[in-house]
């Protein structure tokens, strides 16, 4: 920051219905910088000659703590969260203008929590009044994302360790769900299996609503109702990841609920698997996420022409986006505290080179609409996405989710083992 003052608000609590709130999950930027997971908290980081961190928190309160559990309090904010000064949140209105005063630059991200924006504007106006006779108040407003999100884009060793743990728990969850799956099972039963493993293993929560799509539901990209009964012969697509220590895994696997892929399912699956490998091969420091996307897209388009789903020639099919009805999303995104993590992937209108410490997903897919009459009936309703989590390294990449089975024969062997152990 050099000089300036940065202000971050915690996520407010959100009402779900009447007096029930959504489970609380701290704002990622706020947690990244404070490690504090309580609502009604504000951090003020003053840079310059005398840098200091000021935290405003809910004060200890014997009566409220009987209902809601212990609070960090003013003392804990100093002792456990690195604050130089801490105050009860009730004092924010009085103290924030003083903290803004004297700085030229204010780092703040408007538009995330509108009611926080109002409080900040109020404090800024007050600080101008205070500075009228003596001193100054901020005149340069800078989006805090410009520094915080840039920092979050490159993961530290500790962050990568948390991601590895999230991915390991997610591996166990995907395996448990596969082993549980049977023709006739409901998608929500498999979702329950995932959540059971997440929580049993110490994960706080799912990183996003688990997607369990059987049969044609596998072609719905964000199918989260998970209320269908899987039929014999269906593929099941599971896109699920847990959050561990505030870091998200994001993994997709697809398997045949009856244990064996049909010839058509095999064929589509293999194309997606090869497209994923093509994307992996394009990853290196210096290459961009666009390069990985282009590699996956090229392979999928080439193969869609090959099996007669779309018309060639390849270059024309690519430029006219003829693949779009079958592959309509990007091949990946940054991954971190947010499942679609922060960080720019373009700078000055150009794709941004990957760097060591960046984590991305690679997740090509092919989705054949159930009512697509341009393809033979046996292909309709097939949806395949294969998603892994990739750490960019000095020399290339590491697939952090490598150990979650995805080979065709490997998956069939796993399902055969599951059928056998349940028959016993």
Binding site for Mn ion (CB under 5 A): 239, 250, 361, 387
Reply yes or no on whether 19 is catalytic.
yes
User: CB of 336: closest distance to Mn ion in angstroms?
Assistant: 12
Residue 386 DSSP code: -
Reply yes or no on whether 234 is catalytic.
no
User: CB of 290: closest distance to ligand GLY in angstroms?
Assistant: 17
250 binds ligand GLY, rule: CB under 6 A: yes
Choosing from 32, 323, 326, 367, which is the catalytic residue? Answer: 367
Residue 329 DSSP code: S
Choosing from 385, 388, 389, 397, which is the catalytic residue? Answer: 385
Q: Is 6 helix (H, G, I), strand (E, B) or coil?
A: strand
Site residues for ligand GLY, 386-415, by CB under 6 A, read 387
**Cα–Cα distance, 361 to 340 (Å, whole number):** 9
Site residues for ligand GLY, 161-220, by CB under 6 A, read 208
Helices and strands, number each (H, E), in the chain: 12, 21
**Cα–Cα distance, 4 to 239 (Å, whole number):** 42
User: CB of 11: closest distance to ligand GLY in angstroms?
Assistant: 20
Residue located via tokens 């420091």: 285
| Residue from 27, 159, 234, 239 binding ligand GLY (CB under 6 A) | 239
Choosing from 168, 193, 243, 250, which is the catalytic residue? Answer: 250
Angle at 302 between CA 297 and CA 305, to 5 degrees: 125
Residue 368 DSSP code: -
9 binds ligand GLY, rule: CB under 6 A: no
191 binds, among Mn ion, ligand GLY, none (CB under 5 to 8 A by kind): none
**276 burial level (CB within 10 Å; 0-12, 13-18, 19+):** buried
363 binds ligand GLY, rule: CB under 6 A: yes
Residue located via tokens 């498999």: 190
**Residue placing its CB nearer to Mn ion in the complex, 259 or 383:** 383
- Per-residue string for binding with ligand GLY, 323-362, x by CB under 6 A? ----------x-----x-----------------------
User: CB of 386: closest distance to ligand GLY in angstroms?
Assistant: 11
**Residue placing its CB nearer to ligand GLY in the complex, 44 or 163:** 163
Reply yes or no on whether 22 is catalytic.
no
- The Cβ of residue 186 has, within 10 Å, a number of other Cβ atoms equal to 15
CA 373 to chain centre: 35
Q: What is the DSSP string of 261-320?
A: --HHHHHHHHHHHHHHHHHHHT-SBTBBHHHHHHHHHHHHHHHHHHTTSS---HHHHHHT
User: CB of 250: closest distance to ligand GLY in angstroms?
Assistant: 5
Q: Is the four-CA dihedral 28, 29, 30, 33 of positive or negative sign? A: positive
User: CB of 208: closest distance to ligand GLY in angstroms?
Assistant: 5
Question: Which residues have a catalytic role annotated?
Answer: 19, 222, 239, 250, 329, 333, 340, 363, 367, 385, 387
Which residues are at the interface with ligand GLY (CB under 6 A)? 208, 239, 250, 333, 339, 363, 387
């Amino acid at each position: 920051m050099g000089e300036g003052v940065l202000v971050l608000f915690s996520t407010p609590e959100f009402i779900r219905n009447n007096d029930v709130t959504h489970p609380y999950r701290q704002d990622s930027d706020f947690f990244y910088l404070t490690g504090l997971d309580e609502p009604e908290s504000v951090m003020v980081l003053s840079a310059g000659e005398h840098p200091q961190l000021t935290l405003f928190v809910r004060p200890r309160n014997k009566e409220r703590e009987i209902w809601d559990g212990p609070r960090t309090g003013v003392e804990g904010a100093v002792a456990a969260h690195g604050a130089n000064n801490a105050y009860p949140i009730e004092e924010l209105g009085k103290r924030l203008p003083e903290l803004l005063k004297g700085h030229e630059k204010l780092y703040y991200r408007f538009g995330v929590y509108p009611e926080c924006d109002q409080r900040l504007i109020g404090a800024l106006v007050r600080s101008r009044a205070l500075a009228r006779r003596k001193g100054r108040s901020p005149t340069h407003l800078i989006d805090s994302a410009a520094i915080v999100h840039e920092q979050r884009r490159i993961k530290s060793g500790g962050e990568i360790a948390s991601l590895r743990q999230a991915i390991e728990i997610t591996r166990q969850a995907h395996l448990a769900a596969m082993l549980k799956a049977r023709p006739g099972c409901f998608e929500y039963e498999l979702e329950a299996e995932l959540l059971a493993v997440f929580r049993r293993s110490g994960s706080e929560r799912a990183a996003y609503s688990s997607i369990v799509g059987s049969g044609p539901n596998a072609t719905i990209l964000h199918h989260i109702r998970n209320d269908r009964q899987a039929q014999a012969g269906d593929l099941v697509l599971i896109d699920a990841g847990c959050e561990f220590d505030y870091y998200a895994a994001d993994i997709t696997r697809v398997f045949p609920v009856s244990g064996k892929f049909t010839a058509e399912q095999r064929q589509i699956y293999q194309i997606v698997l090869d497209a994923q490998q093509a994307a992996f091969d394009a990853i290196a420091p210096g290459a961009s996420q666009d390069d990985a996307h282009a590699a996956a897209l090229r392979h999928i388009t080439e193969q869609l022409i090959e099996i007669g789903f779309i018309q060639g020639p390849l270059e024309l099919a690519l430029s006219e986006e003829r693949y779009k009805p079958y592959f309509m999303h990007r091949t990946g995104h940054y991954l971190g505290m947010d499942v679609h993590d922060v960080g720019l992937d373009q700078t000055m209108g150009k794709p941004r080179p990957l760097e060591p410490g960046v984590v991305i997903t690679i997740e090509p897919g092919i989705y054949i609409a159930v009512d697509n009459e341009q393809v033979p009936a046996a292909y309709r309703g097939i949806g395949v996405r294969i998603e892994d989590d990739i750490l960019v390294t000095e020399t290339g990449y590491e697939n952090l989710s490598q150990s979650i089975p995805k080979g065709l024969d490997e998956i069939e062997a796993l399902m055969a083992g599951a059928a056998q152990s349940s028959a016993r």
